[in-house]
Structure 1
Amino acid sequence: MGVLNILWRNIRWRFQNPISIVITILQPLIWLILYSSVAGQAVQNMGIDNYTAFILPGIIVLVTLAACSSGGIINYIMKSNGSFYRILIAPVSRNSIVLGQMLEAVLVSFLEVVILCVVGFFFSVKVASGIAGILLMILLVFMTAFFMSGLTYSISLFLPNEVIYETIMNAIVLPIFFLSPALFPTENLSGGLAVAVTLNPFTHIINALRSLILGETILLGEILPVIVLFIVMCCCSFGLAKWRLKKEMAH
């Protein structure tokens, strides 16, 4: 049983329970369609021509966080039916177990991001930076999902049940979203709030995605540091997941 077997096992469960996909995409779609229509009129004096295009990067990050958070629920379902423990005693490496779980969340994230982008297309959202920009966006979304899937996998192994898990994840995801430039420009912020927004790593992902969507020129000097940052974060996330699984196997 390798990475692909575990990945397929989780994908099969996900599509047998499509409500998990519908729920995680529903709220971001509401933000993208309704909120952008209402708030777009209020921000016209800020020089934002297409508010839907402006908030799309933040909504992409939000749906990625939500999809990865829902991936952690699979662990509790697997524990309840015993399949989690059967995998632990199977002749399969910890790397394969962790990667199989994480990549499922990454794939679901991409599925939902594609849905968002298709909807955005009908609101005149285009990637101004062209094919190269789209490829960089794919890389940024992958790293965001990979980091978050490793983190949520680790958290799901720390916490005793899905109720506490969902409470903790809401307490993590919502501040990440609102302490970022997801909905409004943050250039004029000051004090502690400005520091919090700057320290939020997803601020830099959102800004990078936004520059690729709105700008015709790819600013590698701004995007490359974000890529390096998230490479480090992804390695830490994967390492934490492996360590936590090792502790689980020792019990």
Structure 2
Amino acid sequence: METINILWRNIKWRFQTPISILLTIIQPLIWLLLYSAIANQSMQKISDGNYTAFILPGIMVLVTFACCSSSGYINFTMKSKGSFYRILIAPVRRSSIVLGQMLEAACVSFFEVAIMVIMGIFLSVHIASGFIGLLLMVPLIFLTAFFMSGLAYAISLCLPHEAIYETIMNLIVLSLFFASTALFPMKNISGALKIIVTINPFTHVINCLRSLILCASIDWKSLLSVTGLFICLCCGSFALALWRLKKETVS
């Protein structure tokens, strides 16, 4: 119940500040509408004819990054208004505070990813794996959002103000996005960059999402291995965020 209360509180803040939702969705929309349209002709050879469908998984992950990054601003807003410290001294479990914050980022991620998928359908993107594939995308997006939101929450608790937070999160998000297969297939990458792209966990999430969109058959082995990897990463990010919040309480 404590987690639900924290979750609902954060969701109300988000929708009372709709500019935060608008800002996190503008950049991915630009990528999806403009970049895919401009690059579609030159990229058809590497994307089997539909570059919009090819980059849609990467844009979905980028939307998730943006949502989770923006959720860190809630901490700074709460601190400026004093509500952050009131929650800390309230009889609320620290794990509930962290979980409510992380689930809020996941909920908003689903909302914005759904918009991206609908936009993709209007741009002739067809999900080859059908309704089952669409359902299988849900846990992948959730785990991606949960991991990133825990990381963003921990980072926001370490920094003094939002300007530094924004700079660091932009660096992390853009580095993870471009050092992945979001825009180009793995076969077009070589050398040291290929190693970096391979060890980037989001490369594998994007590949799984892309496979569900472009392929009629489902690669269960890859899907289960990526799911297991991100469950471990989610546990780690939750533990990191919880540790940092407890340290904030002590200090």
Task: Provide the TM-score with structure 1 as the length reference.
Answer: 0.98
Which amino acid letter does the alignment assign opposite residue 21 of structure 1?
I
CA RMSD of aligned residues (A): 0.9
Q: Which residue of 2 aligns with 1:39?
A: 39
Counterpart-to-counterpart distance in 2, 1:71 and 1:8: 13
Q: CA deviation at 1:96?
A: 0.7
Note the 1:106-185 alignment, pairs <5 A: 106-185=106-185
Distance in 2 (CA, whole Å) between partners of 1:73 and 1:44 is 39
Q: Distance in 2 between matches of 1:45 and 1:142?
A: 32
Cα drift, residue 184 of structure 1: 1.4
Number of residue pairs aligned between Structure 1 and Structure 2: 251
SS of 2:34's partner is helix
| SS of structure 2 residue aligned to 1:164 | helix
Within-5 A mapping of 1:1-251: 2-46=2-46, 48-251=48-251
Aligned equivalents of 1:188, 1:51: Cα separation in 2: 15
SS in 2 for 1:208: helix
Moved segments of 4+, more than 3 Å: none
Structure 2: give runs of 5+ residues left out of the alignment.
none
| TM-score, with length taken from structure 2 | 0.98
How far is the alpha carbon of 1:132 from its aligned partner?
Answer: 1.8
Deviation at 1:50, TM superposition (A): 1.1
What stretches of structure 1 of length at least 5 have no aligned partner?
none
Distance in 2 between residues matched to 1:200 and 1:3, nearest whole Å: 31
| 2:47–2:54 CA contact under 8 A, matched in 1 | no
SS at match of 1:187: helix
Q: Percent identity?
A: 65
Which of 170-179 and 47-56 deviates more?
47-56
Aligned-partner Cα distance in 1 for 2:47–2:220: 24
Give the direction of change, closer, same or farther, for the CA distance of 1:13–1:165 in structure 2 (3 Å limit).
same
Describe the superposition over 1:121-159 as per-residue Cα deviations: whole angstroms up to 9, x where unpaired.
Answer: 101112211222112100000000000000000000011
2:106 partner letter: V
CA distance in 2, matches of 1:169, 1:104: 18
| Cα deviation digits, residues 187-224 of structure 1 (max 9, x gap) | 13221100000011000000000000110000011111
Task: Spell out, residue by residue over 1:59-81, the C-alpha distance to the aligned partner (whole angstroms, 9 max, x if none).
Answer: 00000000000000000000000
Q: Which secondary structure state, in structure 1, belongs to the residue aligned with residue 217 of structure 2?
A: coil
